Amino acid sequence: MAALTLYPQDERLEGGSRIAFNLYMITAVALFVVLMLVGLTMRMTQATWLTVSPVFFYKLLSMHGAGLVGTVSLATTAVMWYFLRKYVRLHLWAFVTNYVLFMLGALCIIAAIFIGGYGALWTFLYPLPVFGMGLWSTHAAALFMLGYLLIGVGSLLFYLDAAAAIIKVHGNLGRALGLQWLFGGTIDPAHPKAVVASTMVLIANSLGILAGAVVLVMSLINIFYPEVPLDALFAKNLIYWFGHMYINATIYMGVIVVYELLPRYTGKPYPISRPFLWSFAASTVFVIIVFPHHLMMDYAQPRWLTVMGQVVSWGAGFPVFVVTAYGALTNLYRSGIRWKMPSRLIVLSLFGWAAGIVPAIIDGTVRNNLVMHNTQWVPGHFHFYLLLGAVVMALALMFHVIGREDAARDRASDRAGFLLYFVGGLVFTFAFLDAGHLSVARRMATHLPEWTATDRLGSIGATLVVLGMLYFAIRITAGLLRPPPGRETLHASAGAAG
């Protein structure tokens, strides 16, 4: 069946589409290496193996937080585009515009931090950005926020183009989500999972980006017109509504790789089902309303919001993951899977997603949150599902694309790079989680001597991760820049892979 063809013709990248995709992915892997080096520098500083001033540390922390979240989103947006374009007509200009605005926004953020001295972290929590205490000016804070706005506008344009294309084919977003089959009826077996996942993302993340745009504009007005004050709690709610949905969208865009590629490597169909549709319908609602679990320590928060955040956080991570994990495991069972880099990365990404959910739910429980939220437990859980989940999903597509001309090969160097990244990722994330268990504070440039053991362990893990990502970046960049195979070569390699 067509769905099991390793390299179907409707996925072939040519002309402007190939150039745009390559720009996304090469930029992403290059930024991954640079930003991971920034993270390694911070961990080694906390471990006392490097000496970095606290002022510069917080610049690095601002760059690392804002940069890596944006870069993961850039990579997984390319994942969504790559597969969704088969089922609906996406305009290349929207995809390219998103990239251009991302790069302009990134330049603004870099200039704000390393030229303007901004160091108020990715959250830009009011009123900190306007009180730089001589370390940065209000203009630097404004430039940082402008960078966010540019990146958000680019994402929103891409989502609007995707929404228009989906509605044109399916009539409305509800039908694209498969809501008409939730309570009965015969599900169309050809209804693409990529369309369901993409619809969920553009509904939820468009709302999140709009919330972010509102608070960014409000904050910019306050910078230039200080007599217009903001409500700090309202601003914080909008910021975390935006931030939570933006980072969650990376997982739901990236997981399209599992639905599209796993059956090709197992050789078994991966059909759509009613539980699958229910899981995405539920998660569309949950991901929009779960953000108050970030604000449990704000005593002034309306009680109903805190209760909602608590209750929903217990269930928000499960619907899509459970259905995806069950479907993937049944697809893998007795499949005779082709164990190549894409399939290895797909399975690793499911593990990273699953393992990252557990500490997140633990921290999302009020009694635990009171003692763990301001510890390194939190960076432990989100590094777990990003580093070993969302990033790996994007890497799986990259290795699949560059494997088009040598699909039958399984390089020893790829296996070594995979092992380096996997082991390093485990050491790095478990060092954070152990530090959180020991109540090591997060976001501190200087650590007590009693805290440095986990810092040093994390630094070793981070070094392995950086080396693995450096190999991936070189391998992927070389593969993407290689001239595309001719149609005869393509058919021959696809046949060999089968």
CA torsion sign for 479, 86, 29, 339 is negative
> Residue 220 is encoded by which pair of tokens?
């910019």
> Residue 335 is encoded by which pair of tokens?
């499949």
Instruction: State whether residue 441 is helix, strand or coil.
Output: strand
Q: Considering only CA atoms, which of 299, 315, 297, 268 is closest in space to residue 367?
A: 297
Instruction: Give me the helix-helix angle, 256-266 and 54-84, nearest 10°.
Output: 60
Instruction: Give me the helix-helix angle, 391-402 and 452-481, nearest 10°.
Output: 30
- Cis amide bond preceding 226, omega within 30: no
What pLDDT does residue 348 have? 94
What pLDDT does residue 3 have? 66
> Residue 394 is encoded by which pair of tokens?
């994007």
Identify the residue whose tokens are 């958000």: 152
Q: Most distant CA pair in the chain: distance in Å?
A: 69
Identify the residue whose tokens are 């069946």: 1
> Residue 105 is encoded by which pair of tokens?
């926004």
Write the CATH number of the domain with boundaries 2-497.
Answer: 1.20.210.10
What pLDDT does residue 495 have? 44
Q: Which residues make Cβ contacts (< 8 Å) with residue 131, sequence separation at least 6? A: none
> Residue 133 is encoded by which pair of tokens?
């205490």
Identify the segments of the chain with pLDDT beneath 50.
1-2, 488-498
Burial class (CB in 10 A: 0-12, 13-18, 19+), 467: middle
Q: Considering only CA atoms, which of 283, 281, 288 is closest in space to residue 241?
A: 288
Identify the residue whose tokens are 């296996």: 415
Q: What is the dihedral of CA 128, 133, 135, 137, to 10 degrees?
A: 70
First to last CA, the chain: 13
Identify the residue whose tokens are 């002309």: 15
Query: Taking the domains of the chain in order of start, what are their residue ranges?
Result: 2-497
